[in-house]
A and B are shown apart, each in its own frame.
Chain A
Amino acid sequence: MAKTDIKLTVNGQEAAGSVEPRTLLIHFLREQLGLTGSHIGCETSHCGACTVDLNGKSVKSCTVFAVQADGGEVLTVEGLAQGGELHPLQAAFAEDHGLQCGFCTPGMLVRAHRLLQENPDPSDAEVRVGISGNLCRCTGYQNIVKAIRNAAQAMREKEAAQ
């Protein structure tokens, strides 16, 4: 099958590649760009481990073809930390023990990042609905919810201080 050239922005950098139309975005990110932070879990758009930000929306990159993302902007977990400093969400997940095995964490972080863009001060219930497309089999979610709320507070305080 003929390949298609695609060009997109990933974590602020231009990225280009040649893909078969059937290449899924998650495979393009992991195998062609070497960004293995986003994980492949269920491959059926249920678990959310492959969640990335595409054009300002959280999407499951196992259910998007790379050609559909042509010309778009993608953010993966590798794009969260800036200048060697953890993103407040990453710091809060570490501080609050918001993970155990870590498999769901990249998807959780990127999803939480978008959730806090849409709602900078979510309640527990809003966080739970917000991450309802991301499954964690270890933590029972308590510490994930806590970490996201603490990160939200840290981000609001940082914003207010600026």
Chain B
Amino acid sequence: MIPASFEYHRPGSVDEVVSLLAELGEEGRVLAGGHSLIPMMKLRLAEPAHLIDLTGVEGLRGIAEVEGAIHIGAMTTQAEIIKSDALAERCPILREAAELIADPQVRALGTIGGNAANGDPGNDIPAVMMAVDAAYVLRGSDGERTVAARDFYQGPFETALAVGEFLTAIRIPAPPAGQGQAYCKLKRKVGDYAIAATAVTLAVDGGVCGQAAVALTNVGITPLYAEAASTALVGTAVDAAAVEAAVEAAVAITDPAADLRGPVEYRRHAAGVMTRRAIETALARAKGG
């Protein structure tokens, strides 16, 4: 399988990318790690006339702590996310999720920005970013703007990215003290998308949940931020009744497709199981377990 013909560009700076995108309009597409885009091009699900390779663009890689917040360059690979002990210390859900994405070869090139911006509901990073309340930094010819991960996804492969814009970085606010995080993913085999997966962050203080966020992967046409499920946990002791209420609220917003991963009823049930496990795991971690 060989993709359709295209013209290849290898800019060296963000400004060059912006002017190429402005010039090429809908014909131009950025290439990050390529592990979603190239297979799509082979299948003719994507036929960009121009590919703008971000590999050589300065300033798009790396993990930094800025005034407590975590800044991650869009071209940082999943392998680099897994390797960073500092990141695993500050925001452990990122390593946990990245280890569940694809396989070592794919993670060597696949990037966090590509996974976030691709807009495939099967990608794992979006739900994680919703759970940690990340903001995406977008650059276009009108300059820079940020969009919350929770507001970014509009439909299958449809995002808040406008023509001429691309994702340069992800900013994660400092996780509050006492926060536990967990990503639980059910999949058929290494390299597969989730049958269902859930990302949870929650913080407890004096036995009471002060913050909670629940988000779901691959059980709808977009990644889903489960607001009602999150609210169901806040102010409770995260006891059995609260967990059950949150699980019910999360399952209620799922609308998975019946496919090779299973029928609708099974996938919705699996979303509930993953949500319960992620809440219980995050709670145990919040309590220092």
Contacts and interface: CB of A to CB of B under 8 A. Distances in A.
* A and B interact: yes
Nearest to B108: A57
B105 A43 contact: no
A20 B35 contact: no
B190 interface: yes
B3 A22 contact: yes
Given A59-B109, A63-B35, A132-B190, A21 B8 contact: yes
Given A22-B5, A132-B103, A133-B105, 14 more contacts: A21-B5, A27-B2, A43-B1, A44-B1, A45-B38, A45-B106, A48-B105, A64-B34, A68-B34, A68-B55, A111-B104, A111-B105, A130-B104, A133-B103
Contacts of A58: 104-105, 108
Contacts of A111: 104-105
A24 interface: yes
A149 interface: no
A100 interface: no
15 contacts: A22-B5, A45-B38, A45-B106, A51-B105, A57-B108, A57-B109, A59-B108, A63-B109, A64-B38, A68-B34, A68-B53, A129-B104, A132-B103, A132-B191, A133-B102
B191 A1 contact: no
Interface of B: 1-8, 10, 34-35, 38-39, 42, 51, 53, 55, 79, 102-106, 108-109, 190-191
A45 B224 CA distance: 27
A65 B103 contact: no
A22 B2 contact: yes
Contacts of A65: 8, 34, 38
Interface in A64-88: 64-65, 67-68
Interface string A135-152: 000000000000000000
Nearest to B4: A22
Interface residues of A, number: 30
A30 to B, nearest CB: 13
Interface string A99-133: 00000000000010001000000000000011011
A125 to B, nearest CB: 13
Contacts of A51: 105
A2 B221 CA distance: 39
A39 interface: no
Contacts of B109: 57, 59, 63-64
A63 B34 contact: yes
A20 B5 contact: yes
Contacts of A21: 5-8, 51
B265 to A, nearest CB: 28
Contacts of A133: 102-106, 190-191
A59 B107 CA distance: 9
Given A21-B51, A63-B35, A4 B42 contact: no
A22 B5 CA distance: 6
Contact of B103 (A20, A48, A115): A48
Contacts of B8: 4, 21, 65, 67
A68 B55 CA distance: 8
Which residue, A4, A27, A68, A115, has most C-beta atoms of chain B within 10 A? A68
Contacts of A67: 8, 10, 53
B39 A44 contact: yes
Interface in A26-63: 27, 43-46, 48, 51, 57-60, 63
B44 to A, nearest CB: 12
Contact of A59 (B2, B5, B105): B105
A161 B242 CA distance: 62
Nearest to A24: B2
Contacts of A48: 103, 105
